[in-house]
Amino acid sequence: MTKKNRFILLIALSLLTGWLLFWIDSRPGWDDSGITAGLMVLLAAFYGFISPEKPWIWGLTTGLWIPLMALFREGSFSLMPVCLFAFAGAYLGASVRRNKPADPQE
């Protein structure tokens, strides 16, 4: 798999997992913002670790769904700070990958 194809696949997966997180968060019986925020950080950190070159893409594709829902439903930007959790996770994952000690067997 080429690097470009891998990157496109990761973007598609990030969009899908971000949407699934939005879908779970939008269920009437779901009322646990802490779990949602934690999952958002972990998902974005995973993508940031896998592909640390552009962590802002992982923050955007993972975390933009919930604020978009608020914008379309309420006409409000009030949930835009939720993206900060995704961006924090993406940059955390990228920095862990970049600062990982070199494997002597590689």
Cα–Cα distance measured from residue 59 to residue 85, given in angstroms and rounded to the nearest whole number: 8
Q: What is the pLDDT of residue 106?
A: 58
**Cβ-proximal residues to 13 (8 Å cutoff; 6+ apart), any chain:** 47
- Domain spans, the chain: 3-98
What is the rounded CA–CA span in Å between residue 23 and residue 48?
Answer: 22
**Residue pair 86/40 in contact by the 8 Å Cβ criterion:** yes
pTM beyond 0.95: no
Where helices occur in 26-53 by DSSP H, the ranges are: 33-50
Q: What is the pLDDT of residues 54-80, one digit of tens each?
A: 999 999 999 999 889 888 888 888 888
Number of residues in the chain: 106
Q: What is the pLDDT of residue 100?
A: 76
